[in-house]
Structure 1
């Protein structure tokens, strides 16, 4: 019996094996690329447990679903736009930063830019610098004094200062004041700082205007006044955990871009709701 053995094109067989091998390697490389097939689906976000009107409202860990704050609503909308479900939590500001650094949360807001904070997380921008176009909000710090006191801010320096200045614990303004040679007493909440000024424990305060103005407006304290001009006006950002950015680079950039895109229209659209 004659057996016919089909001819085999060895070259073609090797080419098929090579092509299959390259396809498998290509798939593995693609799977290993951050932000491609396995984009994150949840964004764990922390923000301060003290009110910063109108950016986030109320003190403590509770979040009012009806009026959480304009920044809260912007972050939620931006995250959902890039396929992320948000899980919010509130804690003291210093713990927000520590939790971001430890990877216990993926994002924190609102954070002004400080080079030393880069160890905690990433800002939107390049070369270790935050891009002001990608900010979530802008907030000024102003001087507050007892009515009748002479302490003032010239735009460059303090005058008639006869004691330490009170400021919020962990805020960037504390480092700014210390660099100016000013003695600073920190307190964890704006209302606590205002009480210290009332009691004469500090000579003046430097506070975020949005928060202090709202407390003075609604709290009935008529013995304290705001002094112009502002000490400084700062842009604020959403910071992301370094590992989150490395694992989801495209999603992180799209999120930051969406925050910037939504910032002005949402702020303008929501301010009436929060002014009521």
Structure 2
């Protein structure tokens, strides 16, 4: 009996010795900061600053939401800024852990979304964002809430965005540009008939530059409303599925608690600059 007991104790000690490094490795993996990539252009109020530098103060609504979600899940987060397509390429290589993105089936090759019954689980979104059509004042409306009324017009849209792919799928004549400001400049000088752009960023741009873009108006009905998620690289998700799930669970709660406050914080009076 003593021999068996001794053998049992030795076996337990061996198991503990094996389990400890595994547990430690898992702790080390979860302790590694989550790397998050976003664009190096200003999309106020979502992202502030137009460079690869991450502002220490007032970085934008979406950056603050990610910080809050990570804190709620007990994770540290680091930020990198690159052109959007480079963020996506780095995600595919596993050199970046996460981005905020709307769901597109082809993106699943390089990123993991919260899914339910084969569809994105909208309950786990971090933010909603509407895309709107902008056109010159005095022109007949090009969008009636259901369809583009003048299918031959030239529409500007952001490079790599889901709205751009959606409009192209309708066979519309789309010109892509890297920034919303560039698109609005083209519209102001009649190089485009309309622009499809994210409403929050485009509205702020028009307010900030009323003298340049005062002739541009927003069509009231959105072209499209997207749910945005924290999406993860396959490499990160395969190693940290529980961490990803914690972040997805925290996302809607953080949105409900903080989004309205952040909107107020970043609200600009007419004519105010985003970066005084």
The TM-score normalised by the length of structure 1 is 0.87
Residue 18 of structure 1 and its aligned partner are, at CA, apart by: 6.2
Which structure is larger by alpha-carbon Rg, 1 or 2? 1
Among 214, 230, 234, the alignment partner of 2:204 is 214
Question: Contact 1:34–1:247 at 8 Å: present in 2 too?
Answer: no
Change (3 A) 1:27 1:181: farther
Match of 1:270 among 250, 258, 262: 262
Q: Which runs of 5+ in 2 are unaligned?
A: 269-276
What is the DSSP-based 3-state SS (H/G/I as helix, E as strand, rest coil) of the residue aligned with 1:229? coil
Q: CA deviation at 1:129?
A: 3.0
Per-residue CA shift, 1:39-71, capped at 9, x if unaligned? 233111111122223221222222222211121
Q: Which residue matches 1:6?
A: none
Runs of 4+ in 1 over 6 A off after TM superposition: none
Q: Which residue of 2 aligns with 1:259?
A: 251
Tell whether the 8 Å contact from 2:34 to 2:78 is kept in structure 1 after alignment. Answer: yes
Contact persistence 1:153–1:228 (CA under 8 A): no
SS of the equivalent of 2:222 reads strand
User: Is residue 124 of structure 2 the alignment partner of residue 134 of structure 1?
Assistant: yes
The partner residue of 1:73 within 64, 70, 73 is 64
- Structure 1 regions of 5+ residues with no counterpart? 1-8
Residue 217 of structure 1 deviates from its aligned partner by 1.0
Q: 1:83 to 1:219 in 2, by over 3 A?
A: same
Q: 1:199 aligns with which of 189, 193, 201?
A: 189
CA displacement, residues 65-106 of structure 1 (integer Å, 9 cap, x when unaligned): 221112111211221333322211111111111111111111
Q: Measured at CA, do residues 169 and 33 of structure 1 come closer, stay the same or move farther in structure 2, by a change above 3 Å?
A: farther
- How far apart are residue 125 of structure 1 and its match? 2.8
**Number of equivalences:** 265
Aligned pair in 2 of structure 1 residues 23, 151: CA closer, same or farther (>3 Å)?
A: farther
Instruction: Tell me, yes or no, if the aligned pair for 2:158 and 2:197 is still in contact at 8 Å.
Output: yes
2:47 to 45, 49, 56: 56
In structure 2, distance between residues paired with 1:242 and 1:208: 27
Query: Which residue number corresponds to residue 101 of structure 1?
Result: 92
Report the Cα distance in structure 2 between the residues aligned to 1:227 and 1:118, rounded to whole angstroms.
32
Measured against aligned partners, the alpha-carbon deviations of 1:134-171 in whole angstroms (never above 9, x if no partner) come to 11111111111111222411222111344321100000
| Aligned pairs (5 A) from 1:15-30 | 16-17=6-7, 20-21=10-11, 24=14, 28=18
Paired residue for 1:3? none
Change (3 A) 1:160 1:112: same
Displacement of 1:196 in angstroms is 1.3
1:230 aligns with 2:216: no
Determine the C-alpha separation between the residues in 2 that align with 1:29 and 1:243: 23
Distance 2:264 2:145 in 1: 32
